[in-house]
């Protein structure tokens, strides 16, 4: 038979164990959520950065070629304005045009389609400039 002090010690130990277990479970849960959130944010950032860089690169490349040809080659007709090249920067970002509840993958897919579309359009509209650099 247990004495009163052993029973009290076991009750206190069980209570302490339950408190400690609960606290550690909550801390582990919070850490897991934070790590998962960080991984998702990092993945979304990486995708957005890549898409944004590719968009800016294509537009910058064509803008630079147009500027160089305009300065150096008078025999080529160079439009002083172009709706894609002269559009405000925010017009080129598909995530600004879509509902915020869309997945990163869906927005990225649309951004890639947009890049393909503007590349095709610029190749057609500025064929003389493209040919000059080939």
Q: pLDDT, tens digit, for every residue of 68-120?
A: 888 877 677 788 888 988 888 888 887 777 667 888 888 889 899 999 999 99
Q: How far is CA 95 from CA 106, 111, 116, in A?
A: 9, 8, 16
Measured CA to CA in angstroms, residue 123 lies from 30, 35, 39, 55 at distances of 51, 44, 38, 15
For 115, the enclosing helix (H) or strand (E) is: helix 104-125
Q: Is residue 48 a contact partner of residue 95, using CB atoms and an 8 Å limit?
A: yes
Question: What is d(CA 132, CA 18) in angstroms, rounded to the nearest whole number?
Answer: 76
This model's pTM is above 0.85:
no
pLDDT > 90: what percent of the chain? 17
């Amino acid at each position: 038979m247990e004495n009163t002090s052993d029973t009290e010690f076991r009750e206190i130990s069980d209570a302490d164990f339950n408190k400690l277990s609960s606290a550690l479970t909550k801390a582990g849960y919070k850490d897991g959520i934070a790590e998962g959130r960080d991984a998702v944010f990092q993945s979304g950032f990486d995708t957005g950065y890549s898409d944004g860089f590719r968009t800016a690169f294509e537009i910058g490349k064509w803008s630079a070629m147009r500027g160089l040809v305009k300065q150096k080659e008078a025999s080529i007709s160079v439009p002083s304005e172009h709706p894609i090249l002269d559009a405000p920067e925010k017009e080129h970002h598909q995530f600004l045009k879509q509902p915020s509840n869309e997945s990163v993958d869906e927005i990225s897919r649309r951004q890639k389609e947009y890049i393909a579309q503007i590349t095709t359009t610029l190749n057609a509209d500025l064929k003389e400039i493209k040919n000059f650099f080939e």
